[in-house]
Chains A and B, each alone.
Chain A
Amino acid sequence: MKALVWHGKEDIRYDTVTDPQIEEPRDAVIKVTSCAICGSDLHLYHNFIPAMMPGDVMGHETMGEIVELGPEAKSRGNLSVGDRVVIPFTIICGECDQCKRGNFSVCQRSNRKADLAEKVFGHPTAGLFGYTHLTGGYAGGQAEYLRVPFADATHIKVPDGIPDEKLLFLSDILPTGWHAAMQADIQPGDTVAIWGCGPVGQMTIRSAILLGAEQVIAIDMLPERLSMAEAAGATTINFLEESVTERLTELTGGEGPHKCIDAVGSENHVSFSQPDTMYDRLKQITLSENDRGHVLREMIYNCRPAGVISIIGVYTGLVDKFPIGIAMNKGITFRMAQAHVNRWTDDLLHRIEDGQIDPSFVITHKVPLSAGPEMYRTFRDKQDSCIKVMLQPA
């Protein structure tokens, strides 16, 4: 089959690889109908997340049709060949203590390289598709076929009659944006500031509005992203043109936002006007820091006392100059996680069906899978006003 394969830093190739095969009784194989490039794929593209190996198949936003089922996947999951499914980026057993509590992204059983993860994280997290050997080294879904471990628990069954464009993002960015809003505990009347208007930021903005936030403030530097944020009713701040702190102060009557959400993560923009970003980048280049912490610092500084900070942007390791003293004295609550996708998808599918949200708004580029390598570069460089790339195998 054809697949997008990691070969090294900034080196993604459209390769011919062997077809995936059923290994365990709970496995399934799907024929991929649509997949996407995620912002967090760029961390792998840049080789900022360790433990990738040449030959790893990329991708964790995938949907398709079941073509082969292990015996237990069939009996336990009420699955049949031909079923249409969206595959979340997290692989879940559905049976461990964490899964039973709805903490699916920290499933205790699905990471097949738990020993390796334990050494880095202390305890293993869930297995993820196409996302480093620290999270199991599972092949990803930017391919024609995908093996889905624990398929009976992992899959999201979706109805016919709704186009892929509306359903694909149940795999990651829609529930991830929703999770960010849930973690922030958004209440009607809240002012919510969201750093980053990439695909996850856009979904977070819509989630905050669905949850009844009175004012949503979206922070980014790219005009096309800001125009998309404004389309949903957000007030925007272009941090290259104005001071984030001054604008947030002005927009909140000097009180600061009730809830701050980080939809940026470890690779925030580096600019001369924000000296700490230069400092972080220098440390990152010299391997003395993993993550750039500018957004975290800015959120802590601007958040209203006793407010909430929700972190959904991906961080990979160590961050420097973290102002814990300000956070502690202001009584800020932090909540963070990789999204527990399956916890939210029932609700979100109904909202899509009801017309409350249509996630396809975010797709700016729809191309064949073969264009994947080129689109990685376009997406990374933000060329052609690219916000979200949807890929379809031939």
Chain B
Amino acid sequence: MSFMLSQLANISRSPGDPKVIETGPSSLKPADSFGRALGWFSMGLGLTELFAPKVLTRWLGVEGKEGLVRAYGAREIASGVLCLSVNNDYGAFSRVAGDVLDLATLAAAYNDDNPKKRNVGLAIAAVAGIAIVDAIAGQSIRSLHSRKGEPVRDYSDRSGFPKGVGYSRGKASGRVPQDYHATPAAAAASPTTGETSPASADLILEVSA
């Protein structure tokens, strides 16, 4: 897919620009790709819940709960946005929290009065399975990007001053060019004499006129 897009983008490149011939290893790891797939799944499910809640309420035998399903749809979309962001571990874990909420809601609908009890049972099984997948995905993404447990290197021997800080300190003192002076750059143009205001006499200006 990406290779095709890069070929398409070549239309806008000039003749001397490099163009992709063959793609190689990527920085994107399977855990991240899977996290994104969960994100798109969330977006799809969320949009369905938001715009076609009756399809779900009818199938689950909970007609009249469309408002609740729409609210869950908005939540699902928020999880999807997080899953598609660079903080996709939070996205996956927000899905786990959503799955728990879904399970609690479905459990309430799993009763003998509900003619679609069997469908609710199927939904509970599906959500429970997805919750496990979400939790594994979140954990995989987090451990991929984590630096926890790694020893921290000490760079206190890297001063960047080969002859010592003492040699370099102030070596460029006074080398800020005139056009880079931020403070009284107007001193030369508008000199003070103290004639009108004694406070303006003997000012300490960093930049000489």
Q: Which of A361-394 contact B (CB under 8 A)?
A: 361-362, 364, 370, 373-374, 376-377, 381-385, 387
- Write the nearest CB–CB distance from B173 to chain A, whole angstroms: 4
- Write the nearest CB–CB distance from A66 to chain B, whole angstroms: 16
* CB nearest to A133 among chain B residues: B12
* CB nearest to A384 among chain B residues: B150
Say whether A212 contacts B182, CB under 8 Å: no
* CB nearest to A373 among chain B residues: B27
How many A-B residue pairs have C-beta atoms within 8 angstroms? Tell me: 227
- Write the nearest CB–CB distance from A48 to chain B, whole angstroms: 9
Say whether A54 contacts B26, CB under 8 Å: no
Say whether B16 contacts A22, CB under 8 Å: yes
* CB nearest to A222 among chain B residues: B152
Chain B CB count within 10 A is highest, among A21, A183, A211, for A211
- Given the complex of chains A and B, what is the CA–CA distance between A355 and B24 in angstroms? 41
Say whether A17 contacts B18, CB under 8 Å: yes
Segment from A81-89, A92-100, A225-233, A315-323 that makes contact with B: A225-233
Say whether A206 contacts B161, CB under 8 Å: yes
Q: Is B189 an interface residue (CB 8 A)?
A: no
Q: Which of B161-202 contact A (CB under 8 A)?
A: 161-163, 165, 167-177, 179-183
Say whether B15 contacts A23, CB under 8 Å: yes
Q: Is A5 an interface residue (CB 8 A)?
A: yes
Residue-wise interface mask of B (33-61) relative to A, using a CB-CB cutoff of 8 A (1 in contact, 0 not): 00000000000000000000000000000
**Which A residues are in CB contact (< 8 Å) with B6?**
5, 7, 53-55
**Which B residues are in CB contact (< 8 Å) with A212?**
169-170, 172-174
**Which A residues are in CB contact (< 8 Å) with B7?**
55
Say whether B18 contacts A210, CB under 8 Å: no
**Which A residues are in CB contact (< 8 Å) with B175?**
211, 347
Segment from B67-75, B79-87, B109-117 that makes contact with A: B79-87
- Given the complex of chains A and B, what is the CA–CA distance between A188 and B158 in angstroms? 24
- Interface magnitude class on chain A: 35 or more
Say whether B173 contacts A188, CB under 8 Å: yes
Say whether A356 contacts B167, CB under 8 Å: yes
- Write the nearest CB–CB distance from A234 to chain B, whole angstroms: 10
Given A54-B2, A182-B177, A209-B165, is A17 in contact with B160 using a C-beta cutoff of 8 Å? Answer: no
Segment from A8-16, A71-79, A153-161, A249-257 that makes contact with B: A8-16
Q: Is A19 an interface residue (CB 8 A)?
A: yes
- Write the nearest CB–CB distance from A179 to chain B, whole angstroms: 9
Given A55-B10, A185-B183, A224-B152, is A281 in contact with B87 using a C-beta cutoff of 8 Å? Answer: yes
Q: Is A359 an interface residue (CB 8 A)?
A: yes
Chain A CB count within 10 A is highest, among B153, B154, B173, B182, for B182
- Given the complex of chains A and B, what is the CA–CA distance between A9 and B174 in angstroms? 44
Q: Which of A12, A183, A233, A333 contacts B27 (CB 8 A)?
A: A12
Q: Is A351 an interface residue (CB 8 A)?
A: yes
Given A5-B20, A206-B161, is A185 in contact with B176 using a C-beta cutoff of 8 Å? Answer: yes
Given A11-B27, A16-B24, A206-B160, is A184 in contact with B17 using a C-beta cutoff of 8 Å? Answer: no
Q: Which of A9, A53, A230 contacts B156 (CB 8 A)?
A: A230
Given A182-B177, A285-B81, is A17 in contact with B19 using a C-beta cutoff of 8 Å? Answer: yes
Q: Is A335 an interface residue (CB 8 A)?
A: yes
Chain B CB count within 10 A is highest, among A10, A137, A223, for A10
Majority secondary structure, B binding face: loop
Q: Which of A123-158 contact B (CB under 8 A)?
A: 133, 137-139, 143, 147
Q: Is A57 an interface residue (CB 8 A)?
A: yes
**Which B residues are in CB contact (< 8 Å) with A15?**
20-24
- Write the nearest CB–CB distance from B145 to chain A, whole angstroms: 5
Say whether A231 contacts B160, CB under 8 Å: yes
- Given the complex of chains A and B, what is the CA–CA distance between A384 and B153 in angstroms? 8
Say whether A53 contacts B9, CB under 8 Å: yes
- Write the nearest CB–CB distance from B8 to chain A, whole angstroms: 8
Q: Which of B10, B15, B145 contacts A21 (CB 8 A)?
A: B15
- Write the nearest CB–CB distance from A45 to chain B, whole angstroms: 8
- Given the complex of chains A and B, what is the CA–CA distance between A228 and B159 in angstroms? 7
B→A interface (CB under 8 Å) = 2, 5-10, 12-29, 32, 81-82, 85-87, 145-147, 150-163, 165, 167-177, 179-183, 206
Supply 13 A–B pairs (Cβ within 8 Å), ascending by A: A11-B28, A12-B27, A13-B23, A15-B20, A15-B22, A21-B16, A22-B16, A54-B8, A206-B161, A212-B174, A231-B158, A358-B162, A381-B147
Inter-chain pairs besides A5-B20, A54-B5, A381-B147, 6 sampled, C-beta below 8 Å: A10-B86, A54-B2, A57-B18, A223-B152, A355-B163, A384-B153
